[in-house]
Chain A
């Protein structure tokens, strides 16, 4: 079975290719494949009808089955089982499928391009439907079920350029997927209750399954069935789905897909028809659907819609009888299902031919077709008579046994049973009426001018409907084979009244009350047609409040509106508001959890490790609050730095010298960078536009702070496990060959973390540079000797200054006339008013010492506080000093490498330390020791991971240099250019030349 399904799906994938070669003749091939599948199902007949239908897979005398393991952890298997019900359904699917494929070979134009994918979808649908009826696994059943839904969506939307087709497709998808999801819950539920996802096993133990859970699971499964089979209140999607090409209507919406719901009901009925809500749902909704569908069919003006509403009506009928759960009803239900498949598919095909040849399906325009198209008329009369339940046709045979089973049911169950029977007879009468209306509307001569028929339908076009119509006659005359096929399934049920012999399929049961009911239905139906059925006007629609499609559309609209409303309320476009919502949720949710779970107040609490810690704490808090109220921007930045320095103090007090050192260095650099970056922004901007909503923000901030404190305190209080780091000291010493545990953690134990981090640093530095430089960074500047003395940093021309300022500057310049470079390499390039001789001297004295110290921190970091990060930051600070003292040319002179190259080398060195051990048979990033014996300096152990730290050092230096060049040098250049532009706009040519701005 798995092989056949695989072959069918493979053929559907190939179909578009074949179509591009052979055009619409491909449909012959597809029809032939389905005929092959039909023969394959026929071969199962002896084995299946001889088997014990109730036996699960693996039990003696079980129906043929195949099981392939799939997702064992979830209990999902590719389990297929061919019992009598599956066999009958398979024959219907493959048989009608073959007929529809043959019909397609004429339905589509010879040069229709889009039909290739269509052929694939239609064929895949047949495969999916076959998989659905063969599946013995609930999950597989659901997968095939949804596959048919999706394919139906694609097929209905075939004419994608028409809004009506698109909308109908989406509507069908939404409605059936909704039902499918409900069904999924029901399937999983019943699977869990039964402890198995095997359908046959669940049904075998259905007698042990009872209770509300089972009842509700069945309701959910029934929701799936009634949405798929278009029962009230979901019936509206089926008439709308008539936007699909007619072959699709004939196959999906008459013979196959809509029968999936009926199949599901028939499948679960043997075990579960006695659950609490089963019969009420099946009978009430079924009867309502039957009446509503028949009533609506009676007055449609589109002959395809007459059939569509007729199908809705018949589906209600089928669900009722298949869900009834008696032996007679099971036989009748399946017989009716087959009968409906045959006559309805034939009728749809006839409608397709009429539409194809006349260009309309409007019965007010069609006239005289019966006279000119005799073969079509004969086919239609046979099929429609079968639909109306007239002898000697299979529709009549099936309807007789349906009536009989309802009659038997009514005899046992009294009033309600008779009421149901009355409803069924009434609906059957209306069925007779709309069948007559269909024939009258399609073929009668209503006005003098006959409708033009563009060419005669050829034999290939007619053979499919004719064959189906012929079968409905043959099975009426020879019902025996079908009786044999269906009977094994019917024996799964108890008879309604054990004293009466089970019924059988036959044209003549004798003069029974049931025959009387049939005659009554014919008479009433023909009378109704005569009175109401021949009116060409469209039916007055039902009140809006009851129109299911309107209710559907307004609920979808309501959903859209609600979503738009909620979006508008929460997504107003303000980032602050988004953050407010996010943080409010992040506060409220954990607070709620803490409040609801009843936590105890921690009892191991100390105020502080030592008084100094508390004092530092007050300092930090003061800094934080100061940042809010600071009147100036740099004051606020200083306040935040104060917090950082305080926290560095806390690190030191707790016993973390590495952290204290690193944080101090970082805070210093951050302060400088802040000043460099924000110097171009006017100071006034800080106080401009103060944000409103102050109290709310303060409240949220306080609440969030409290929440974090509570969460931290509670989680620390409940910690019971030892920290993983108790192993670190010996690991660090024996494996990492270093005594500074933090550093060894960084470069050895958790080296991948660090490697990732330096990569992030390089990326961030590149980001900064690309934001500032835009085009390319590290622009080649002039040689130092070309730069005019005192040209850098001259912000304004003399004319823009006040007389007193000019005097001050003149004094400063008089001191800066020394030609020789005393302290710094590029000190002379800075404008005299910006130079500080003390700063230059201090820089001169300190720079090399700082660099040396940074190298010491780097190399000694493995055993004492320090390491690549601290060393790199310190070296960076040295360059900051050079830049501040001597301007951008000083920075270039201090470090004549591109920052990108520094970081690249850093990453390369780090990679190298990772990869090298691999060459010696070690693991990646494994550290090893090299013993060196150098004269004078003595014996030394070199640990390879120190080399990794060198990489870190280079990356950090590169980061700081990049930031300095971007936020420092480049912004310098830009400000000077801007000033020059401003000045030149003031027609001050001389001052422009005297400024001599240099890059």
Chain B
């Protein structure tokens, strides 16, 4: 396939400028960037149709190769109209952002910032020192008698003192 240098370069510039604007903070500029990128995509599709040709209106005596490839054109036509709908939607978003927050900027995501700031945080589920338990039946109903088995406080304390983990393992919840 032949490469049309003009279309190729124009497409490259559309993408380059589009990306540059897309990375801005101002929503309006971002939108312009998106429009330019979609221009670039349109040019890419256009190039895939090959060399220029006759408008694809069927006439006698012509073969398929004489026409400018109609398939990319059909795709482009839909792309153009969809891009319009997208621009209208983005404009509505910008207007709304202005009405609600009086700003025309891409705001930072607070949740992400919190995650980023919370490196190495202590997690009780993961990091608490938990002593091993020496019974499954502490603080539960006695299955034989049906009454709650009392484990008196003194006994529990002596148990804690004996094991040097320093965590209340009779409940096993391991807060510290």
**Taking the complex as formed, is B55 at the interface, i.e. its CB lies under 8 A from any CB of chain A?**
yes
Quick one: given A109-B143, A604-B1, A864-B57, are A742 and B74 in contact (CB under 8 Å)? Answer: yes
Q: Would you list 7 pairs from A and B whose C-beta atoms are within 8 A, ordered by A residue?
A: A356-B143, A364-B162, A561-B120, A658-B73, A700-B20, A745-B70, A768-B88
Interchain CA distance A166-B123 in the complex, whole Å? 14
**Taking the complex as formed, is A243 at the interface, i.e. its CB lies under 8 A from any CB of chain B?**
yes
On whether the beta carbons of A708 and B88 are closer than 8 Å, the reply is no
On whether the beta carbons of A576 and B3 are closer than 8 Å, the reply is no
Dominant secondary structure at the A interface: helix
**Taking the complex as formed, is A633 at the interface, i.e. its CB lies under 8 A from any CB of chain B?**
yes
Quick one: given A705-B13, A728-B64, are A771 and B6 in contact (CB under 8 Å)? Answer: no
B contact residues around A112 at 8 Å (CB)? 143
Chain B proximity of A11: nearest CB distance (Å):
25
Interchain CA distance A706-B15 in the complex, whole Å? 9
B contact residues around A666 at 8 Å (CB)? 80-81, 83-84
**Taking the complex as formed, is A459 at the interface, i.e. its CB lies under 8 A from any CB of chain B?**
no
On whether the beta carbons of A767 and B89 are closer than 8 Å, the reply is yes
On whether the beta carbons of A627 and B17 are closer than 8 Å, the reply is yes
B contact residues around A565 at 8 Å (CB)? 119
Interface residue tally on A, bucketed by range: 35 or more
**Taking the complex as formed, is A669 at the interface, i.e. its CB lies under 8 A from any CB of chain B?**
yes
Q: Which of B88, B111, B128 has the most CB of A within 10 A?
A: B88
On whether the beta carbons of B115 and A571 are closer than 8 Å, the reply is yes
**Taking the complex as formed, is A564 at the interface, i.e. its CB lies under 8 A from any CB of chain B?**
yes
Interchain CA distance A869-B105 in the complex, whole Å? 34
**Taking the complex as formed, is A269 at the interface, i.e. its CB lies under 8 A from any CB of chain B?**
no
Interchain CA distance A670-B80 in the complex, whole Å? 11
Interchain CA distance A564-B118 in the complex, whole Å? 8
Interchain CA distance A69-B99 in the complex, whole Å? 64
Dominant secondary structure at the B interface: helix
Closest 10 CB pairs of A and B: A705-B16, A655-B68, A764-B85, A455-B144, A573-B112, A677-B91, A162-B172, A109-B143, A568-B116, A701-B19
Produce 1/0 per residue, A621-645, CB < 8 A to B: 1001101100001001100100110
Interchain CA distance A678-B87 in the complex, whole Å? 12
A contact residues around B169 at 8 Å (CB)? 164
Interchain CA distance A621-B86 in the complex, whole Å? 23
Which residue of the partner chain, among B84, B99, B125, B134, contacts A669 with CB atoms under 8 Å? Answer: B84
Which residue of the partner chain, among A163, A245, A657, A746, contacts B173 with CB atoms under 8 Å? Answer: A163
On whether the beta carbons of B9 and A726 are closer than 8 Å, the reply is no
Produce 1/0 per residue, A538-558, CB < 8 A to B: 100000000000000000110
On whether the beta carbons of A604 and B84 are closer than 8 Å, the reply is no
On whether the beta carbons of A689 and B28 are closer than 8 Å, the reply is no
On whether the beta carbons of A579 and B23 are closer than 8 Å, the reply is yes
Chain A proximity of B37: nearest CB distance (Å):
10
Quick one: given A164-B169, A602-B3, A733-B58, are A701 and B137 in contact (CB under 8 Å)? Answer: no
On whether the beta carbons of A651 and B46 are closer than 8 Å, the reply is yes
Instruction: Write the chain B residue with the least CB distance to A556.
Output: B126
On whether the beta carbons of A640 and B35 are closer than 8 Å, the reply is yes
Instruction: Write the chain A residue with the least CB distance to B108.
Output: A573
Quick one: given A708-B44, A709-B9, A725-B64, are A604 and B3 in contact (CB under 8 Å)? Answer: yes
Chain A proximity of B10: nearest CB distance (Å):
5
On whether the beta carbons of B74 and A750 are closer than 8 Å, the reply is yes
B contact residues around A956 at 8 Å (CB)? 81
Produce 1/0 per residue, B139-152, CB < 8 A to A: 00111110001010
Interchain CA distance A633-B98 in the complex, whole Å? 15
On whether the beta carbons of A359 and B81 are closer than 8 Å, the reply is no
Interchain CA distance A719-B47 in the complex, whole Å? 12
Q: Which of A361, A708, A863 has the most CB of B within 10 A?
A: A708
Chain B proximity of A16: nearest CB distance (Å):
20
On whether the beta carbons of B25 and A624 are closer than 8 Å, the reply is no
Chain A proximity of B152: nearest CB distance (Å):
12
Which residue of the partner chain, among A573, A674, A709, contacts B110 with CB atoms under 8 Å? Answer: A573
**Taking the complex as formed, is A384 at the interface, i.e. its CB lies under 8 A from any CB of chain B?**
no
On whether the beta carbons of A606 and B2 are closer than 8 Å, the reply is yes
B contact residues around A670 at 8 Å (CB)? 35, 84, 87
On whether the beta carbons of A572 and B112 are closer than 8 Å, the reply is yes
**Taking the complex as formed, is A167 at the interface, i.e. its CB lies under 8 A from any CB of chain B?**
yes
Which residue of the partner chain, among A108, A360, A654, A693, contacts B68 with CB atoms under 8 Å? Answer: A654
Interface residues of B in 65-109 (CB under 8 A from A): 65, 67-71, 73-78, 80-89, 91-96, 98-99, 104-106, 108-109
On whether the beta carbons of A724 and B71 are closer than 8 Å, the reply is yes
Chain A proximity of B79: nearest CB distance (Å):
9
**Taking the complex as formed, is A983 at the interface, i.e. its CB lies under 8 A from any CB of chain B?**
no
Quick one: given A573-B108, A732-B58, are A709 and B172 in contact (CB under 8 Å)? Answer: no
